[in-house]
Amino acid sequence: MKNRLRVLRAEQNWSQAELGMRVGVSRQAINAIENGKYDPGLPLGMKIARVFARRVEETFELEEKD
């Protein structure tokens, strides 16, 4: 699954730790999501989209292989 976390985070000028704090996960979790090493569950995905005031589909995108 692709995501636009890095771009959206840069737009807000937030660090990974700050985004993690806003959605209640560790900086390592945000890093793993950004690098495509971990796909978040639905509640976390929705929380992330909500803090960026975006829809989930604007934040995460399914790839062919998914």
Write out the residues near other proteins by the rule CB under 8 A.
24-26, 28-29, 31-33, 37-38, 40-41, 44
Cα R_g (the chain), whole angstroms: 11
Q: Is 61 in a helix, a strand, or coil? A: strand
* Nearest approach, Cβ of residue 30 and other proteins (Å): 9
Q: Which residue bears the tokens 């992330």? A: 48
Q: Which residue bears the tokens 């700050």? A: 18
Measured from the CB atom, the residue of 14 and 16 that comes closer to other proteins is 16
Distance CA 47, CA 26 (A): 14
* Nearest approach, Cβ of residue 55 and other proteins (Å): 21
* Nearest approach, Cβ of residue 23 and other proteins (Å): 9
